[in-house]
Amino acid sequence: MTNARQLAFIALRDVHKGAYADVALDRVLQKVNLADCDRRLVTELVYGSVRRQRTLDTLIDQIAKKKSDQQPQDLRTILHLGFYQLRYQQRIPASAAVNTTVQLAKENGFSGLTGFVNGLLRQYLRRAGGAEEDNTPSSPSSPSSPSSPSSPSSLHTDPLQLPENPVERLGILHSFPDWMIQVWLEQLGLADTEKLCEWMNQSPTIDLRINSLCTSIEEVEAALQSAGILVRRIPHLPQALRLIGSAGSIQKIPGFREGWWTVQDSSAQLVSHLLDPQPGEVVIDVCAAPGGKTTHIAELMGDKGKIWACDRTPSRLRKLQENSQRLNLQSIQIYTGDSRHFTQFQNTADRVLLDAPCSGLGTMHRHADARWRQTPESVRGLSVLQKELITHTSTFVKPGGVLVYATCTLHPAENEEVISAFLAESPDWQIESPRGFEFPDSAHNTPQGWFKVWPHRQDMDGFFMVRLRKTNNSE
């Protein structure tokens, strides 16, 4: 078990040096041959420690004499791992969490501080008012998921002291920057913001999109059932199946090689339905890589017509090419470059999809470190880019054609404000409701006509999307 924790420590050390959490994790897992249970433990410890970083730092601040930012970085990482297990992992006995963390300190250059590490973690347990085995499950059937984020069920008394200010309280308790909490509070209010925080700290689910050109949802369900993989359908989405529980390696799930399905979250599947592409049309996906929505568009068109898939990142476009080949799609043409500089597409497209680069604040459960990488300044910069993209790529649409703008963020500066500014400058464009496709009810309860998917309400990634129509008399 210590081996798994050592691997988690190595990955987290890379994250604190600037690596993306998923990249750092993949790097350490590729070098070893671990049992599935150990792989899951490493993954849980890495993503969990990154997600809960602010809470874990606050515990160090409140219990140790030196603040977290004054601790040596590697020691701080080791303490994160110890506190994360004590606070959020019900199935790890407290004694195991303490002893393995002390061992980590010994093995990674802190043998002189093992007493400090031991004392700090035991002080946490004393403040919690429980014995050292306090967070051992009462029976073998106890869930393996982390205990409730707002009040860890393993604790009699929560050692974490919280301020009264609601922004700081939610930020420390659920481990988000204050500015992010503020953005959500302004849109949702206190109770819904807390639910959103809790949802974002869950482990992500995996959704499949069935390739209806070569199979049916019934056939895929039957194949997965035969392989012992549990799935459920998702309302409003005729091609979607959600995996229930762990299914192992994606490439080993029945139908992967045959192109029966691709991985795509439910919210992202809604976007192509809003675009509603028709067979024989010309469609431009202006920020296409890695191609989830591009390939969905091709499937919805029956693979008849032409789809220009544009992106400025060749490596991500290669992923799109691999996906379209695996799904056996012929209608996709790849075009490398920045869509803001293209002139050859003017007035050529029946439909344009602008799935804009964004802060990704709707998908933070998938990207554990996104909450620490984005800032109000980075959001402002993205908002400028998004306005430039929609202004230019809207010229690709023929008169009478459609543009769908979508992001996987929940920040108004990247969503509502971008669309409002565009419409104010573009009298020949208007918002249009979708036709012939039923959206989740509460996703489109906006009087303006745009769609906002709130994860804690729809149980899918956070998304914003709007369908715009260019009037026929546009030049």
> What is the residue-wise DSSP string for 85-122?
HHHH-TTS-HHHHHHHHHHHHHHTT-GGGHHHHHHHHH
37 catalytic per annotation: no
- If asked whether residues 244 and 120 sit together in one domain, one would say no
Residue 368, classed as helix, strand or coil, is coil
Q: CA nearest 235: which of 442, 431, 435, 434? A: 442
Query: Which residue, of 257, 276, 294, is where some domain finishes?
Result: 257
36 neighbors 248 (Cβ within 8 angstroms): yes
Is 190 domain-assigned?
no
- If asked whether residues 105 and 13 sit together in one domain, one would say yes
What are the E-state strand segments in 274-426?
282-285, 306-311, 332-336, 349-355, 397-407
- If asked whether residues 294 and 407 sit together in one domain, one would say yes
| Catalytic entry in 287, 310, 358, 408 | 408
- If asked whether residues 399 and 316 sit together in one domain, one would say yes
- If asked whether residues 253 and 393 sit together in one domain, one would say no
Q: Which residues are CB-neighbours of 218 under 8 A, at least 6 positions away?
A: none
Q: With left for phi above 0 and alpha for psi between -120 and 50, is residue 330 left, alpha or beta?
A: alpha
The CATH number of the domain holding residue 127 is: 1.10.940.10
Is 466 domain-assigned?
yes
Domain encompassing residue 127: 2-138
Q: How far apart are CA 324 and CA 341, in angstroms?
A: 25
Q: Which two tokens stand for residue 191?
A: 């109770």
Query: Which residue, of 230, 257, 284, is where some domain finishes?
Result: 257
- If asked whether residues 237 and 330 sit together in one domain, one would say no
- If asked whether residues 122 and 235 sit together in one domain, one would say no
- If asked whether residues 250 and 364 sit together in one domain, one would say no
Residue 287, classed as helix, strand or coil, is coil
- If asked whether residues 230 and 299 sit together in one domain, one would say no
Q: How far apart are CA 197 and CA 195, in angstroms?
A: 5
Is 51 domain-assigned?
yes
pLDDT one digit per residue (tens) for the chain, 475 residues: 448 999 999 999 999 999 999 999 999 999 998 888 899 999 999 999 999 999 999 999 999 999 999 999 999 999 999 999 999 998 999 999 999 999 999 999 999 999 999 999 999 999 988 544 444 333 322 333 333 444 454 556 899 999 999 999 999 999 999 999 999 999 999 999 999 999 999 989 999 999 999 999 999 999 999 999 999 999 889 999 999 977 777 888 999 999 999 999 999 999 999 999 999 999 999 999 999 999 999 999 999 999 999 999 888 899 999 999 999 999 999 999 888 989 899 999 999 999 999 999 999 999 999 999 999 999 999 999 999 999 999 999 999 999 999 999 999 999 999 999 999 999 999 999 877 667 766 555 567 889 999 999 999 999 999 999 998 765 5
Q: How many residues does the chain have?
A: 475
Q: How far apart are CA 180 and CA 161, in angstroms?
A: 21
pTM for the predicted model, two decimal places: 0.90
What is the number of structural domains in the chain? 3
- If asked whether residues 252 and 316 sit together in one domain, one would say no
